A and B are shown apart, each in its own frame.
Chain A
Amino acid sequence: MAEEITLKVDGQPVKVPAGTVVAVAVAKAGKTSFRHSVTGQPRAPLCGMGICFECRVTINGQPHCRSCNTVCEEGMEVLTDE
């Protein structure tokens, strides 16, 4: 039903249905770590509802975007591990 859109996660193309949040696209790209903490630990989404900021990634050059409440757009460039 929903159309498919393609975006890039760390340069790798990922296809998702329109309306999918970026966090899901990052997981579909096979990433387990979204970022590293201030002491270098790997981190990934915790709350899934826009509160914990553990899922933050760089989207189209803008750092610190919460991937769990940002919807994927065609041609979006997502970078993990800010």
Chain B
Amino acid sequence: MSKRHLDFDAVVAGAGPAGIVSACIAAEQGRRTALLDMFPSIGGQIWHGSDEMPATAQARRWLKRLYAAGVQVFRGMTAIGAPSPHMLFAESPEGAVEIAWQKFIIATGARELFLPFPGWTLPNVIGAGGLQDMVKSGWPVAGKRVVIAGTGPLLFPVGANLREAGAEVVLMAEQTDWGKLIGFGMKLPVMAPSKLLQAMGFQMKLLGVPYRPGCWPVSAQGKDRVESVTLTNGSKTWTEPCDYLACGFGLVSNLELPNLVGCRVENGKVWVNPSQETSVPDVYCAGEPTGVGGIDRAIVEGKIAGYAVAGQTGQVERMFPARQHAQRFTEAMDSAFAIRRELKQLSSPDTIVCRCEDVTYGQLRNYSSWLEAKLHTRCGMGPCQGRICGCATRALFGWQPESVRPPVFPTSVGVLAEMGDGKKN
């Protein structure tokens, strides 16, 4: 395996909206810019599948600008280490790559939060966003009964897309109660009228689908796959037969790369200054890692980071009001769709929390910290490296997963050997 060496003014990790926008701006301002994404296609979770068929007109516009600006796009490339300042180590289908950078922008997005409950490990209990993506890619759901459970506006596009693909959406269970929903809805016409229209559009596509606020899943049942889900509204409990249970309890920031580079993280968010620069000089962060806030916030932060790495302070400052507006919307969302206490108390002693190592809730509750649990039970030591159970145990026990070590993603011994070589030089 031969190691390639690349050199750029700006390197952007993560090709979702924040990454695409920041790479685009940096390149338009004359910076030699690289954009990497671990997926074979760019767009991230929201503009997914954008390469041949952009998801939205907005995605189409930005992708056109991205290519026109001459950004070098590396698909299927995963950043796995940062051996020294201004250096990134990545793995690609062609092998190991060492990338030198002047400015680095982290735009690694967010992932779904998964909360353990009895039966959540059964096949066909699946992330709502993940199922939506795979259905777009052709995952067969026609004629299948799907229960969607979780929280937040994401449930609507998921339901609409599944229905378009021929699934029978039996129920949409929103854990937030009516009171909070109405409070949030009242803010929309002023705060984000376009979002209100979007939501109404999804409602049209979901006519006839029961939407129940104040209700959440307590367990899933089935032999080799999910066959039914038991739900409650706090007073009444009932069981719905289904072929899929799509769960979407909101998003959590992907912090592995910022942690690896040494960026300061506070309350699960990367700390940034007004120019989106992190506590590590020349390392910037935009979009969901600085706090889950959706696409509008990601785009404005991407613009700021792009102008900032190009030294355009005037342009950076012009973006502040737009970011503040997006931030206010984020805060309203956070309070409206906060996860209710009951959802954090669904596990029974034999409920698996760490799916890689099959560690149960009963085993974990004997320990007082993530590190202690990890050392005694192997919780978080499987292939996902605590990406799923780390967030789950933060919700269940309030544990804080400790800092990450390279490689950020499991890789081959060959690539690790190349990485070792890089350190010596």
User: Which A residues are within 8 Å of any B CB, using their own CB?
Assistant: 2, 16-17, 19-21, 23-24, 27-28, 32-34, 37-39, 41-54, 56, 64, 68-71
Contact = CB atoms under 8 A, between A and B. Distances in A.
B225 A50 contact: no
A52 B388 contact: yes
Given A17-B138, A37-B358, A49-B112, 11 more contacts: A23-B139, A28-B140, A32-B123, A38-B356, A38-B357, A41-B121, A43-B123, A44-B124, A49-B133, A53-B356, A68-B130
Contacts of B41: 19
A28 B135 CA distance: 11
B134 interface: yes
A44 B121 CA distance: 8
Given A42-B123, A47-B112, A52-B384, A20 B137 contact: yes
Interface string B148-170: 00000000000000000000000
A32 B355 contact: no
A2 B52 CA distance: 10
Contacts of A70: 40
B369 interface: no
A20 B138 CA distance: 7
Contacts of B140: 27-28
A39 B350 CA distance: 13
A53 B126 contact: no
A54 B355 contact: yes
Interface in B96-121: 111-112, 114, 121
A54 to B, nearest CB: 6
A5 B219 CA distance: 39
Nearest to B134: A48
Given A33-B224, A64-B383, A45 B130 contact: yes
Contact of B358 (A32, A34, A38, A53): A38
Contact of A21 (B137, B355, B357, B383): B137
A32 B122 CA distance: 10
A48 B133 contact: yes
Interface string B236-251: 0000000000000000
A45 B38 contact: no
Interface residues of B, number: 39
B137 A49 contact: no
Contacts of A46: 114, 125-127, 130, 355, 388
A71 B126 contact: no
Contacts of B111: 47, 49, 51
Contacts of B303: none
A43 to B, nearest CB: 6
A59 to B, nearest CB: 12
8 contacts: A17-B138, A19-B137, A24-B139, A28-B138, A32-B124, A46-B127, A47-B114, A53-B384
B132 to A, nearest CB: 8
Contact of B225 (A2, A44, A49, A54): A44
A49 B224 contact: no
A47 B123 contact: no
B392 to A, nearest CB: 11
Nearest to A39: B358
Contact of A43 (B121, B130, B139): B121
Nearest to B78: A50
Given A41-B121, A68-B134, A71-B40, A48 B383 contact: no
Contacts of B388: 46-47, 51-52
Contacts of A28: 138, 140
B264 to A, nearest CB: 23
B131 interface: yes
B382 interface: yes
A32 B225 contact: yes
B134 A24 contact: yes
Contacts of B320: none
Contact of B137 (A24, A38, A41): A24
B39 interface: yes
Contacts of B400: none
